[in-house]
Amino acid sequence: MAKVSVQEKMQSENERVAAANRAAFAKAGVLVLNLVSSPGSGKTTLLEGTLDRLPAAGLRALVIEGDVCTARDLDRVKARGGSGVQINTGGGCHLSAQMVSDVLGRLDLASADVVFIENVGNLICPSTYDLGEDAKVVLLATAEGDDKPMKYPTIFHESALAVLNKTDLIPYIPYDIGKVEKEIAVLNPRCEILRVSALKGDGMDGWVSWIAARLTAKRLGAKRAG
Amino acid sequence: MHELSICQSMLRVVDGAMKAHEGARLRRIFVDVGRGSTVEPSLLREAFDVIASGGPYDEVELVINDIPLAGRCRACGRSFEYQEIALGCPACGSVSVDIESGLELNVRELEIDD
């Protein structure tokens, strides 16, 4: 009987591939955002509104769509003039770095400023998988209730930004947006918060400004480091 | 419910470590699972049982070390254990907190028969 010391992260393989993805994104100078939320929070609607507004800011986008089944979300993206690729996980509850790596060859990164990765609708599992993104953005719709951040804490620790979507529904439902913002601040004081109605357009300019600021910071940082 | 794919990642790490001990028989896998890691120990065990059944890991025991979430506040110096993971100090409310344990998801060691 002998003991063999291993001391290795279970996620080491995913982390290795995520680092390679991150290097490919850095080389192309693109900002990569990993959008995470439960199903129906409005990730694709946010993307539709974003694709409508990015050209005015002089920004070009690519989309990596993750779903268990169908290419419905990619079809919606294409209908707004967007382009990208669809990943079907076939039952998997999250994207992995390898799945993203497998489709990178089909994306012309040089033609983009921002890459959006729309993760599988799930508030738990995607938080454990680094895809090589610059930031995770968590969406939380008002209709999901105002008690969610504390119930699903990990994704809020991991996210740089929380988009509180469907603010247009607030007059019709019991929902205290201040409570949600307070819980997020307790979970992660560094997580920024935006109030948005992707459907009606409220707050979308702030979201586009946030993207532009992140992109500028990334490119400046790379320039200074280089 | 991502424990199945976490389990597969875990076994890739185990297989990698076993390459240096060809011919040895694997008895036990010791892993660290922090309470803030998003992995549920009971589900990881179920996933392992499903994967191991009838395969090369059939006789192998998975030993899970459940690690509580603990932090230390830089402002008041107190150490504490979190029930719910939060990045604020439960005593003084400062957000200047270092998480000291509870985020682990590691294969720590293996027990083998040479």
Q: DSSP label at A104?
A: G
pLDDT-derived band at B87 (thresholds 50, 70, 90) equals low
What's the pTM value of the predicted model, to 2 decimals? 0.90
pLDDT exceeds cutoff 80 at B29: yes
- Per CATH, the number for B3-113 is 3.30.2320.80
| Cβ–Cβ pairs < 8 A, chains A and B | 101
Residues of A with CB under 8 A from a CB of B: 1-14, 92-94, 96, 124-125, 127-129, 150, 153-154, 157, 186-189
pLDDT confidence of B86, banded at 50, 70, 90?
low
Among chain A residues, CA nearest to B25: A1
Label residue B96 by pLDDT band (50, 70, 90).
confident
Report the pLDDT averaged over residues B11-20. Answer: 95
Enumerate the residues of chain B whose CB falls inside 8 A of the CB of residue A152: none
DSSP 8-class letter at A97:
H
* Residues A125, A130, A132: CA angle, nearest 5 degrees: 145
Quote the tokens at residue A90: 């076939």
Q: What is the mean pLDDT of residues B68-93?
A: 83
**B48 near B63, Cβ under 8 Å?**
no
A14-216: in CATH 2.60.120.590: no
Residues of A in contact with B97 (CB under 8 A): none
Query: Along the 226 residues of chain A, how does pLDDT read in single tens digits?
Result: 899 999 999 999 999 999 999 999 999 999 999 999 999 999 999 999 999 999 999 999 999 999 999 999 999 999 999 999 999 998 889 999 999 999 999 999 999 999 999 999 999 999 989 999 999 999 999 999 999 998 888 899 899 999 999 999 999 999 999 999 999 998 888 899 999 999 999 999 999 999 999 999 999 999 898 7
Count the residues in chain A: 226
Residues 6+ apart with CB under 8 A from A114: A30, A31, A32, A33, A54, A59, A60, A61, A62, A211, A215
Mean pLDDT for B100-112 is 94
- From B13, B87, B106, residue closest to A187, measured CB to CB: B87
Q: Which residue in this structure is represented by tokens 């028969």?
A: B113
What is the rounded CA–CA span in Å between residue A171 and residue A167?
Answer: 9
CA dist., res. B99 & res. B103, Å (int) = 8
Tokens read off for A49: 């509104």
Q: What pLDDT, on a 0 to 100 scale, did the predictor assign at position A226?
A: 77
- Which chain B positions have a beta carbon within 8 Å of A157's beta carbon? 36, 85, 87
